[in-house]
A and B are shown apart, each in its own frame.
Chain A
Amino acid sequence: MFNRELKKGSIQLLILALLENRERHGYELGKLIEARSGGRLVFRLHSLYPTLCRMEEMGLLKSRWVEKPGTRRRRFYRLTAGGRRALERKRQRWTQYMQAVNQIVGLDDA
């Protein structure tokens, strides 16, 4: 549906946003993106999982194994302080970028 490069550029922002208020496990993140975008954004494990790993390496996320009663052991990801700052920055930049593009292509409200 969307161009691969376009998706690639936004995946970190999406993950950070989804983890803003609570911790989630990897599969859940993929499902949420697909559901909330109305099926227009689909990230398979193939691209999502390495991104999670990289973000963890970069110190944006932290993960832990959680065993809840009645379910199997899952790995949950949550934002670090650095992750929160990054989310803030990326959100701002995204907005500015969108505004700039919209201004040019004529979708701006103003």
Chain B
Amino acid sequence: MPDWKRHVRDNLSLDGLDPAREASIVEDLAQQLEDAYQDALDDGLAPEQAAESVKRHIPDWQAFGRTLENSQGAHQRSGLEKLEQRAMERNRRNRFSRWSGDLWLDILFSFRLLRKNQTSTILVILTLALGIGANTAIFSAIEATLLRPLPFFEPERLFLVWEHNRKTGNMQNYASPANFLDWQDRNSVFEHLAAFSYRSPILTGRGPAQRVSGVRVVGDFFAVLNTTPLQGRTLTAADAEQDPNQAVISHQFWRSTLGENPDVVGQTLILDGQPTTVVGVLPPKSGFPPGADLWVPRIYRPDSPSIRGRHLIGVGRLGDGVTRSQAQSQMDSVASRLEAEHPEFNTDFGVHLMPLRDAYSSSARGTLLLLLGAVALVLLIACANVANLLLSRMAARSRELAIRRALGANRSRLLRQLSVESWMLALLGGLLGLLLARPAIGVLAVLVPNGIRITFDLGIGPSVLAFTFAISVLAGVLFGLAPALQLWAPTAGSALAGGGRSVAPSQGGLRRFLVVSEVAMSLVLLAAAGLTIQSLSLLQRVDPGFDPNEIVTFSLTLPEAIAGEESEKAPRQNAFFQRLIERISALPGVESVGGVSFLPVAGGIASTSFRLLDRAAPAPGLSPVADVLVVAGDYFQAMKIPLKQGRLFGPEDSPDAPRAVVINETMVRRHWPDADPLGKQIVIDWDRPVTGQIVGVVGDVLHRGLASDPRPATFWAQPQFTYGFMNLFVRGGPEATLRRALPPLVSELDPDLPVQELRSMTEVMGESVGRPRQTLRLLALFAGLALVLAAVGVYGVASYWVGSRTREIAIRIAIGAEPADILRTVLGRGLVLAAWGIAIGLVAAIGLAQVLELGLYQVPQTDPLTYVIVSALLLAAALTACLFPALRARRVDPIEALRYE
């Protein structure tokens, strides 16, 4: 007798059943097969035949196994429910396949249509590409500047900690080390609080001497940032105490200057003549502040000499769960206690917490958002234009659509066809826009703050791609709406009746609406551009207080190591600058040479509080403030800064003579409006009180930038006021010759001293307005684009009107209308539209001017002249756009036009 159990076990495979259930099934089956075998034998079959007949009970074991497995889960659903579900699935599959098949047909059909109307298709795609490309480019700048997270661990917890100088309103005043140490001790809101100051030593012994931009870090600086080094280690607070001559370097510096030497850790760099050991290399683009190449430790003790000088920037990581306002309020109370404890030093100084992100991008935020608004308007105008164009096409297609409806296509079917067409146009436009955006991003780079450019790669990443796709789809919906609405127009079905000649009258209203919006939006853009143009041209005409022409400038920083002890510092620096100025003056063609500690117009400046010896001492915190500038050689002569009173510095202002001070006119106006300042004594708070006697008054120079107001300034003679940093100005001599001659001349005097920022003063002036100028160029470009698009829109409507009224015009001519009347009618219609657009645009622009800040210089945002000019410009453009259709209308030949009636 066959072993039926074994037979079952050999043939049946059941997955996913529990073993007990499986064993039970096997036994049950074997039992039944055995019964069947017994029956077969009883029926008189031979054993082999009986076995064969039994095996026919289960012909396909695999199928049987599957059925069994399925039956095990069947209790969850009844058989009927399962059938229903299967039917639904099949239905859905069918519907999807039918839908996707139809979609494919729609796409093919759209392609054919687009190819058939090649000119208008190309026009549409180009229009969209310009709009989408501009949006993509601006968005890529915004994405990097405002949206991408900084490359630090939990960057939202990082804050810069400044002192807030309430007297000057400066919220980003450097902090004094004394206050910083107290902040560290008294706060509980920061997980780590460190600080840094800028210091860029000179590297020697590795090729030509070069300045390395670096910072000195105080406290656990790298713990704040949570930086993991690429090689070696970072610095800790303990390093400053043990050995200050250690450095962490940037990836960039390691690569460009040290040739990516793999054994760099432990090597020695000569920085300002001091051997310094490299202890670590940071990963690429991970350093803070951005652009720094070198980090060295620095420690302050309560008795450190520069403990009161404000030159630190705090940087801290908030504790987990601490909010910005909690941190700010605790630091506020720390600051007010410090104010009470050291009124002579801290009166009117608070603390300001600034998100690290703002340090990177706050300067560019306004400009970028403004430009985003501008390009969004351009895209909207482009969409309106495309909608208009598609409407004309719809008119031509009304017959086709009517036939399709008559043949049974329902509205949603036609709507889908139209949507597919719109989206295809939009996506093609988007694709081309992406290609256009690539080079545009390079142009935009000047608008992106330096720190961001150093930290991130600008370009088209996934989020920019997603943005482009999204706005393309959105644009498709927007301009696809107009033709789609036509499906609901009451006349849509009657197009067959008119033999295809009649057009939907409701189109006229929609078209007029589109054109009026286009003109209105263009006006807003033109107004913004117009205001910015005025602002910039005023800015460029600002008198900086000196003559920037024919001046070559460069800067020098004397290494601290050269200076050595404080007492030796002055004579050596004096000797160096004296010799340098003598040598440069001897160059052919040079008229005058001088230097000043801070480059005019560039923004950097040192200022401090002072008192006047002839006045009563003011209460703490009420002392006036003035800029402090150190002057070498014939600075005023070289820059042609006019002398207003008294004398300039001369050889008599030697280190041994009483200190002489030259002040500017603003200082005179502010403090001696009716008196003679000459001979008055002034004391400034420097690292110690410094007293000088006023010997002269010069004209104002705009140090903080062309858009700034002049501030009280004091000038001190370099031999009497040592200062290691100097910008030199050389007037006269051919620029090219000077540029070549200056660096070797400096290195003859000191081979380890690099010449920095060698350029002409006119370049400096240009750079100072670089960002406004680039903003203006872009705004003007977008406004111009808007103007052209709006004109095209007006042209489209006018020529459509002429085309659809040919009969009417012909009849009017036939019954005696003058060509001039016809011309007037067409132009009149166009002008009415433009006038509506301008009126609405003016209201919108003036409304926006109340809300948006354009950052204009001396131009009110509601400057009437600008609005008048841009309105006239738009009107003229509209008139020109109407002229061609109007002339065409005038030439309508009544006989020709009416012949086919």
Contact = CB atoms under 8 A, between A and B. Distances in A.
Interface of A: 25-27, 30-31, 44-46, 49-51, 53-54, 57-59, 72-75
B164 to A, nearest CB: 76
B58 A44 contact: yes
Smallest CB-CB A-B distances: 4 pairs: A54-B71, A45-B57, A27-B35, A27-B32
A72 B33 CA distance: 13
Given A45-B32, A72-B31, A73-B31, 14 more contacts: A25-B32, A27-B35, A31-B39, A45-B36, A46-B58, A49-B29, A49-B64, A57-B73, A57-B74, A57-B75, A58-B74, A74-B31, A75-B24, A75-B28
Contact of A49 (B32, B56, B74): B32
Contacts of A75: 24, 27-28, 31
B478 interface: no
A12 B68 CA distance: 16
> Chain A's interface: helix, strand, loop or mixed, by majority?
helix
B78 interface: yes
Nearest to A86: B78
Contacts of B71: 50-51, 53-54, 57
A49 B68 contact: yes
A49 B24 CA distance: 13
Contacts of B36: 27, 45
Contacts of B25: 53
Interface string B15-41: 000000000110111011111100100
Interface in B42-60: 56-60
A102 to B, nearest CB: 24
B578 interface: no
B33 A45 contact: yes
Interface in B65-81: 67-68, 70-75, 78-79
A80 to B, nearest CB: 12
A44 B60 CA distance: 12
Contacts of B67: 50
Contacts of A31: 39
**On chain B, which size bracket covers the interface?**
20 to 34
A69 B29 CA distance: 21
Contacts, number: 62
B21 to A, nearest CB: 10
Contacts of B57: 44-46
B64 A50 contact: yes
B645 to A, nearest CB: 109
Contacts of A44: 56-58
Contacts of B28: 26, 49, 75
Contacts of B56: 44
A68 to B, nearest CB: 13
| Interface-central residue, A49, A59, A74, by most chain B CB under 10 Å | A49
A27 B72 contact: no
Contact of A58 (B35, B64, B78): B78
A37 B61 CA distance: 27
Nearest to A60: B75
B473 to A, nearest CB: 49
Nearest to B29: A49
Nearest to A57: B75
B103 to A, nearest CB: 36
B31 A58 contact: no
A72 B60 CA distance: 27
21 contacts: A27-B35, A44-B56, A44-B57, A45-B33, A45-B58, A46-B58, A49-B32, A49-B68, A50-B64, A50-B70, A50-B71, A51-B71, A54-B71, A57-B71, A57-B74, A58-B74, A58-B75, A72-B31, A72-B34, A73-B31, A75-B24
| Interface-central residue, B25, B58, B71, B78, by most chain A CB under 10 Å | B71
A57 B77 CA distance: 10
A53 to B, nearest CB: 4
A50 B79 CA distance: 13
Nearest to A75: B28
Contacts of A26: 28, 31-32
Nearest to A58: B75
Nearest to A26: B32
Contacts of B75: 57-59
